[in-house]
Amino acid sequence: MKRKLTMLAMALVLTTAQAAVERIQVVERAPFAPGVTFGEYGAYEKIRGIAYYALDPKAAANASIIDLKHAPRDNKGRVLFSSEFVLLRPVGGKPATLLYDVNNRGNIAILGQVNGRSPANNDPSTTADAGDGFLMRHGFSLLFSAWTWDVAPGAAAGARPLVFAPPVAKGVKGKVQNEFTVNAPTDVVTYAGMRGLTYEPATPNDPHAQLTARSRPDDKRRPIARSAWRFVEPELKGGPGRIQLEGGFQPGTIYEVTYAAKDPYVTGAGLAGIRDLLSYFRDNPFEGAPVPRNVLMFGISQSGRVIGRMMHDGLNVDESGKLVFNGAYLQVPGAGGSAGFNSRFAQPTRHPSMLEEHDYPADAFPFTSAPTRDPATGKTASTLDKARDKQGNLPKLFYANTSTEFWNRGASLIATTPDGVSDVTPAPNVRIYGFMGAQHYVGRSSKRAPFTACVSTTDHYLPMRALIVALDDWTTQGTQPPASAYPALADGTLTTVADYRAIFPKGVGLTPPEQNLREPRLNFGLRFNMYGIADTTPPKHGDDYETRVPTPDADGNDRGGVRLVELQAPLGTHTGWNLRAPDTGFAWATSRFDGSFVPFARTEAERLAAGDPRPSLEGRYANRDAYIAAVRLAAEQQVAAGLLLPEDVERATKQNVGLYDRILARDPADQGCTYLFAQ
């Protein structure tokens, strides 16, 4: 049923002087997963609408929003903007926890990862979209909204992404820089990072724009003659800009284009919009429904870093001085995200990797939840310095990274000093988890290209389910969550890349990378840290922040942290890295997101013939029943630790036993990866 209506709480909005949500317009209201009831919470409905915001640039709560003062204002001196939202909530009277999922590059993420592999869809409506109904059965109302401007047409899965109409800093100009690479020769390429949108040149086909090339990040840039290249129209209307080069772009080269742009979006307004929408729904339920029993945030990767930046800037506290969420789960945020998302000409889709975006400011000191001193600057700070409400309260926080983030996203920095010399104990309101042997997302690729190894098969989505429930219990009942579990320097489970390479077993069929991502220390000029304005583009580089990686055991599996079922009852070696194939031109670099998996030999005879130092499956498990027993024991230990729910023991067992069977049925000479996953 489609209709437009105003929420019953509109009177509150109109009479509250500091209210930042002006009004809510509902454009669709319909049953979610029609005919399905989710345990004691019953049936759910979907409400789709538009939130209209009004921000006062003079309000203290908005002081951290870069360029808000340059955006057009209404006759009351306020900056107006809007975002679409979707709310999935139980229709009965039982209070639920409001869980806000920060969408990732236009995509709703939590359903696909947490709700039993439901399909990716930005307009969740059907029984299939509900997956196994996990979040609904556990009493969560789910709220999604648009917050960023740089989602390219066609980049989001399922229905179109939710639309964000941000304010614009009219008349403001500045330099924009983008880095890009290609995997194969091509004449025309998109120059926006991570397939997102970027700013177009202020002058069409800007004659003063510069294009450079280099082979390695630290190499000197080689200018390409301006007459040899030009800007061309996007492939799709409204899509990312492209460049055409005479002779074409080649693999093995890092390209960088720099030009003047104008009218930057006020990206920090998107974070304020999240803040204000949460504040609104916390206090104003739909049509007499009970107020939420709790409010939580959840974010995966980019989305987790959004939460980090909100707290860094105090945007987790609303205009009345209240926390807008009681707890947050930052999944695979890498170094945490205390930079990015709120600066002039920010492009939220971008982040640095070993290969690209070396000059994009996604991460910077401070990284830790407890105060730490940066030896390079002498400054002492934490990520939570501005995150307290007017009563001095902080939200309770989970940070969870996989092994891949230690290699590719600086994850060690959230629990060490910036020089990588000492551990830093998390603040009392924080827990940190490291999912060892896992990659950025649960692998599903059945081919190696463009990398050298098959992807890791670990499933960290199962402990994510347990941790979401634990966070809800911690923030509502005071129930202590699982203790932090992550690699540390003190116990030797966190080490240098050089030590990792020396320890990693030889003869496995994997050669460890020569380096991991060392988070760059970027200097954009004196105004950047305080005002978000870059005066030096590209930036100058200081000494990198020192990052560390998990220490491997004799099998090549990472020690410390949360040792998933796959590592407690192993079938092979799982790493957080996967080297790029030589034909991509960057054999020294790793995938941004993928790990590796190499199974153990099936028998001792095969192991000896291959020169594999790792005990075979035959040497580890007497038979299939013995392996099943080992998996069940590992799963029960995870349940006891609070890192696996009893309802997920069978799923964990089935997945791992299925892989065991496929490894035994596979010809070891077959170098394909299709055996990894049930067809």
Instruction: Judge whether 38 and 116 are in contact, CB under 8 Å.
Output: no
Length of the chain: 679
What does the alpha-carbon distance between residue 394 and residue 385 come to, in Å, rounded to a whole number?
10
Helices (H), 57-149: 110-114, 134-137
Nearest to 546 by CA among 512, 496, 487, 486: 496
What does the alpha-carbon distance between residue 462 and residue 458 come to, in Å, rounded to a whole number?
10
Question: In what helix (H) or strand (E) does residue 665 lie, and over which residues does it extend?
Answer: helix 649-665
Instruction: Judge whether 97 and 327 are in contact, CB under 8 Å.
Output: no
**What are the strands, taking DSSP E only, across 16-104?**
21-32, 44-55, 79-90, 97-101
Beta-bridged to residue 45, according to DSSP, are: 31, 89
Sign of CA pseudo-dihedral 69, 73, 75, 80: negative
Q: What does the block give as tokens for 61?
A: 């709560």
Residues 458-484: tens digit of each pLDDT: 999 999 999 999 999 999 999 999 999
Angle at 322 between CA 475 and CA 391, to 5 degrees: 85
**CA 626 from centroid of its chain's CA atoms:** 37
Question: In what helix (H) or strand (E) does residue 271 lie, and over which residues does it extend?
Answer: helix 268-283
Considering only CA atoms, give the Rg of the chain: 25
What does the alpha-carbon distance between residue 472 and residue 328 come to, in Å, rounded to a whole number?
9
pLDDT higher at 281 or 285:
281
Instruction: Judge whether 447 and 594 are in contact, CB under 8 Å.
Output: no
Q: Which of 2-6, 229-233, 297-301 has the lowest mean pLDDT?
A: 2-6
Beta-bridged to residue 598, according to DSSP, are: 573
Q: What does the block give as tokens for 412?
A: 């060690």
pLDDT higher at 338 or 623:
623
* Predicted confidence (pLDDT) at residue 14 exceeds the cutoff of 70: no
| CA distance to 211, 436, 671, per residue, from 222 (Å) | 8, 40, 39
Classified as helix, coil or strand, 432 is: strand
Q: Which amino acid is at 215?
A: S
Kindly indicate the confidence band of residue 2, based on its pLDDT and cuts at 50, 70 and 90: very low
Question: How high is the pLDDT of residue 237?
Answer: 83
CA-CA-CA-CA dihedral for 176, 182, 186, 189, to nearest 10: -30
Share above pLDDT 90 across residues of the chain, in percent, rounded to a whole number: 88
Q: What does the block give as tokens for 353?
A: 């990797």
Question: How high is the pLDDT of residue 10?
Answer: 37
Cis peptide before 217 (omega within 30 of 0): no
* Predicted confidence (pLDDT) at residue 197 exceeds the cutoff of 90: yes
- Per-residue three-class SS string for 533-592: CCCCCCCEECCCCCCCEECECCCCCECCCEECHHHHCCCEEEECCCEECHHHCCCCCECC
Q: If you average pLDDT over every residue of the chain, what do you get? A: 94
Question: How high is the pLDDT of residue 235?
Answer: 87
Sign of CA pseudo-dihedral 602, 607, 610, 613: positive
Kindly indicate the confidence band of residue 287, based on its pLDDT and cuts at 50, 70 and 90: confident
Residues 106-162: tens digit of each pLDDT: 889 999 999 987 777 889 999 999 999 999 999 999 999 999 999 988 755 566 889
Residues 521-568: tens digit of each pLDDT: 999 999 999 999 999 999 999 999 999 999 999 999 999 999 999 999
Kindly indicate the confidence band of residue 338, based on its pLDDT and cuts at 50, 70 and 90: confident
Classified as helix, coil or strand, 646 is: helix
Instruction: Judge whether 482 and 470 are in contact, CB under 8 Å.
Output: yes
Question: How high is the pLDDT of residue 117?
Answer: 75
Instruction: Judge whether 162 and 106 are in contact, CB under 8 Å.
Output: yes
Nearest to 552 by CA among 460, 436, 453: 436
Angle at 666 between CA 664 and CA 670, to 5 degrees: 145
* Predicted confidence (pLDDT) at residue 506 exceeds the cutoff of 50: yes
Q: What does the block give as tokens for 543?
A: 């000494």
Beta-bridged to residue 495, according to DSSP, are: 549
Q: What does the block give as tokens for 349?
A: 């889709």
